[in-house]
Chain A
Amino acid sequence: MKAFTQHSGLVGPMDRANVDTDMIIPKQFLKSIKRSGFGPNLFDELRYMDEGQPGQDCTHRPVNPDFPLNLPRYSGASILLARKNFGCGSSREHAPWALEDYGFRAVIAPSYADIFYNNCFKNGLLPVILSEQQLDVLFAEMYADEGYQLTIDLVEQTVVCPNGERFAFEIDQFRKDCLVNGLDEIGLTLQSAQAIKDYEKTRAAQQPWVFGAIK
């Protein structure tokens, strides 16, 4: 997995609450058996005027001029500002895949849906949590200042504004470690193979019906 220590980049808006995973990547794109290539269809229904189809070349589709991320000033944005409960809805990992493929390395929001939050870490995408008030500040600064950039330092757990102001954020230690070091989580778990086997042995003795049921 791609490691994340520090990132500076252009900031773009998704200024509404409860952005769901259907909005982030509509279901027709879930038919793909690949992990990549979802970027052109990120926010598809909001971003384009027509209905997108999987496998289509998006470069000639009519874009929605009112969708903020379509504005030239946000082109190349790699940090997304969002509102509360971002990523609610389905468990589709296609949502972080699409954000990442589009070019986002981090999202900053007051809260996230649990599964989406978890999925981000598996894909080198950092979901930062700041308060609603702090987001109000960031949104206001971003709208006021074309080319607005932020620096996110995961090691220090801070978001640094252009004027030098810093916002600290919380993050679970194990999630941070995996992301900072770009660890292969499965490999890490398999280091505990013996503990897993021991657990299975004890459990099978106590609850034999759990094992061997599906055949």
Chain B
Amino acid sequence: MSQTTVYDKLWDSHLVKQNADGSALIYIDRHILHEVTSPQAFEGLRIAGRKPWRLDTNLATPDHNISTDPTERAAGVAGIPDNTSRIQVQTLDDNCDHFGIKEFKMNEMGQGIVHVMGPELGATMPGLTVVCGDSHTATHGALACLAHGIGTSEVEHVLASQCLVTKKMKNMRVTVDGVLGAGVTPKDVVLAIIAKIGTAGGNGHAIEFAGSVFRDMSIEGRMTVCNMAIEAGARVGLVAVDEKTIDYCRGRKFMPAGESFAKAAEYWRTLVSDADAVFDTEVHMNGSEIAPQVSWGTSPEMVVPVTGNIPRVEDQIDAVKKKGVERALEYMGLEGGAPISSVAVDRVFIGSCTNSRIEDMRAAAAVVEGRTVSDSIKQALVVPGSQMVKEQAEAEGLDRIFIEAGLDWREPGCSMCLAMNADKLGAGEHCASTSNRNFEGRQGNGGRTHLMSPEMAAAAAITGHIVDVREFTGDQS
């Protein structure tokens, strides 16, 4: 077949049935579950007297709601101080045990944030459909699979039938050519894309990230980019297969091995868009022009280059936008027109499914090594994305670097990305955060989030304010 995109190929190969009314039945290869969006789905199964369709496709772990504090974690599920949280984590364990679903329990090797865990264990493979009751499931698309978030009713639907009733999305291609400058990371690229197309720019689309910038990028970097496709409104973000994809897959726990791997790889190599593939929407950007990015407001499209200024209400032409900027400035307690680098931060969060992989840990450690967190910082958290990342980082001595610099080294989980546990901002506090959402209250009631790369967040921890990592020398003035 020609003229097809990666997304088209993935769609076609999973089509069970096309219905006359425009909907389609799509087969789901991998289903990842966590404690927050699954209890009502399991309850639904029970009430209807249904069983999971297949067991060898589901993988579960607790991540959203668990403590990252080493002492609390050591006490196990029984040691979770908050009643409702403990019940929720326990309910996941009970449901997985009851239905026979493979789970990596809270303190087990393999546990981690769902979107860190899937790829690193090799549960996510090129060519699969991957779903999870979490909107950042597009992360897995970095391995050229069709991955997207679903709601709890759909979690139940997939458990019961291994299928979803859905409609084909439109194709969008975001091409970023050129070469990234020093200090410019995958996070900056995706923030720049969101700033350009807006938080609804990708609605109804599957985005393929193409161009030299993504070809040159590591698989982990591609995950950071695909992770935030949803912040541009797209449920699906993906990158075509290349040799880096194949190399990444080799040797992982759930991956095929030997002859079977070679056969799989042969198929995976076909997962590229045809030269004459047609996209409904095309966006082009030049990677050489992207500077490190920082969000100033309460939506992931409210982003400026670190060299830029906070927007002013009076410069906005569109009335709805004007209102949005005004409200965001008020919430963030910021003055329009001031340089973004003048903003002081109270807390730093390095973690989340966007930036908690080993490369992120290394990048942040390199910035803080031999330096000390500013006295004005109340807390600087480093939360590895999984038990495997944690183990690897500790083997490389990164934990020592963080601790000696004055940062907290935590246990894996979602932590301050959504602040369902004790890791949260106080009202009015500014946070340099490597997470993906800066909505009002996201990191704690009244908290003020500034999204940025791990390098930039690490530098902010040292200086106590937002700073251009390219000019960062670490001198404390």
Which residue numbers of A lie inside 8 Å of B, CB to CB? 16-18, 20, 22-23, 26-28, 30-35, 45, 51, 54-55, 83-85, 88-93, 96, 111, 113-115, 118-119, 122-123, 172-175, 177, 185-186, 188-190, 192-193, 195-196, 199-200, 203, 207-215
B151 touches A119 (CB 8 A): yes
A–B pairs, 22, beta carbons within 8 Å: A22-B442, A26-B441, A31-B36, A31-B85, A31-B87, A31-B88, A83-B320, A84-B320, A88-B200, A88-B233, A90-B418, A91-B149, A114-B203, A122-B154, A172-B167, A177-B21, A186-B160, A195-B16, A195-B17, A196-B25, A199-B16, A209-B263
Which among B82, B133, B199, B445 is the interface contact of A88 at CB below 8 angstroms? B199
Binds A, one of B121-129, B276-284, B362-370: B121-129
Collect the chain A residues with CB atoms within 8 Å of residue B22's CB. Answer: 172-174
A-binding residues in B (CB < 8 A): 16-17, 19, 21-23, 25, 27, 29-30, 36-37, 39-40, 43, 48, 50, 53, 55-59, 64-65, 82, 84-85, 87-88, 91, 102, 122-123, 125, 127-128, 133-135, 137, 149-154, 156-157, 160-163, 165, 167, 199-200, 203-204, 230, 233-235, 254-256, 260-261, 263-264, 267, 299, 320, 323-324, 327, 418-420, 437, 439-442, 445
Query: Within the assembled complex, what's the spacing in Å between the Cα atoms of A188 and B48?
Result: 13
- 9 tightest Cβ-Cβ pairs between the two chains A and B: A122-B153, A33-B39, A209-B256, A174-B23, A119-B151, A93-B151, A91-B149, A31-B84, A173-B21
Could you say which residues of chain B place their CB within 8 Å of the CB of A17? 320, 323-324
Q: Are A55 and B200 in contact (CB under 8 A)?
A: no
Query: Are B19 and A90 in touch, CB under 8 angstroms?
Result: no
- B389 → chain A, closest Cβ, in Å? 20
Nearest CB in chain B to that of A207: its residue = B267
Say which residue of B17, B199, B260 sits within 8 Å of A208 (CB atoms). Answer: B260
Whole-angstrom CA separation of A91 from B234 in the bound complex = 12
Question: How far is B34's CA from A91's CA once the two chains are assembled, in angstroms?
Answer: 13
Partner of A33, one of B48, B88, B154, B440: B88
Q: A186 near B161 (CB under 8 angstroms)?
A: yes
B91 touches A33 (CB 8 A): yes
Which residues of A are found within 8 Å of B150, using beta-carbon distances? 91, 115
Chain B residue at minimal CB-CB distance from A193: B161
Contacts of B256 in A (CB 8 A): 209, 213
In the complex, chain B residues whose CB is within 8 Å of the CB of A16? 323-324, 327
A59 to B203, CA, bound (A): 38
Asked if B260 and A20 sit within 8 Å, CB to CB, the answer is no
Contact A215 B160 (CB under 8 A): no
Whether A89 lies near B135 (C-beta < 8 A) is yes
CB-based nearest B residue for A210: B29
Q: Which residues of B have CB within 8 Å of A186?
A: 48, 50, 156-157, 160-161
Once bound together, how far apart are the Cα atoms of A196 and B320, in whole Å? 47
Do A174 and B21 touch (CB < 8 A)? yes
8 Å CB contact of B123 from A23, A27, A213: A213
Min distance, Cβ B468 to any Cβ of chain A, angstroms: 28
Q: Kindly state the separation between the CA atoms of A209 and B261 in the bound complex, as whole angstroms.
A: 8
Q: Are B204 and A214 in contact (CB under 8 A)?
A: no
Known: A91-B150, A207-B127, A209-B264. Is A185-B157 also a contact (CB below 8 A)?
Answer: yes
B37 to chain A, nearest CB (A): 7
Taken together as a complex, chains A and B put the C-alpha atoms of A200 and B27 apart, in Å, by: 9
- B235 / chain A contacts, CB cutoff of 8 Å: 114-115
